Amino acid sequence: MNNEKLSKKDLYYTNDHEWIDFQGTVAFVGVCSFKLLGFKEIHQVTFNEPSGFKKRGDVIATILYNDYQVEAHMPVDGKVVQVNDTLLPGNSNNLLRYAESSGWIAKIVPSQPYERKDLLLPKQYQMNGKDKYAK
């Protein structure tokens, strides 16, 4: 089981409800709990080619519950060096309980570790969500 702690000091979000936590030359990526609304449990997390170079927007994992399917995308260009083995069959619900902490999906090495283009700071993400989803 992987118990890496996330510092959340250099945290950013995408408009598609994914997050990235930069930690020096590596980063952890995951999906926000908002993206998993409607999921009562997670039946399966499937990793797409779990290692290697990916471009921003490439699908890194698919999360399944009944007829619901959500894709997790790379927030930046980089290389996937590890997937979160706590999300393997039998433990997938950790993603629901800890979506924005230990529920990270992949550990990556960003090709440009200081590039933040098209990423939102936590305050921007919260304001964006309130504006976009207000009724």
Q: What is the pLDDT of residues 108-121, one digit of tens each?
A: 999 999 999 999 99
Whole-angstrom distance, CA of residue 77 vs CA of residue 129 = 24
The Cα-based distances of 84 to 3, 28, 51, 95, 127 in angstroms read 9, 10, 12, 10, 29
Q: How confident is the model at residue 25 (pLDDT cuts 50, 70, 90)?
A: very high
Write the CATH number for 55.
2.40.50.100
Mean pLDDT of the chain: 86
Contact status, residue 8 vs residue 119, Cβ threshold 8 Å: no
Give domain status of residue 130, yes or no.
no
Residue 129: inside a domain: no
Number of other CB atoms surrounding residue 129 within 10 Å: 16
Residue 96 structural domain: 11-110
* Model pTM score: 0.85
Evaluate whether residue 132 is within a structural domain.
no
For residue 64, is it within any domain?
A: yes
Q: Please name the residue that has the structure tokens 């960003």.
A: 110
Look at residue 55 and tell me if it is in a domain: yes
- Does residue 87 surpass a pLDDT of 90? no
**Residue of higher predicted confidence among 78 and 38:** 78
pLDDT of residue 102: 80
- The C-alpha atoms of residue 135 and residue 130 are separated, in whole angstroms, by 9
Half-sphere exposure of 8 (CA within 13 A, CB side): 7
In a domain, residue 63? The reply is yes
In a domain, 135, yes or no: no
Q: Say how many domains are in the chain.
A: 1
Whether 30 maps to a domain, the answer reads yes
For residue range 47-62, list pLDDT tens digits in order: 887 678 999 999 999 9
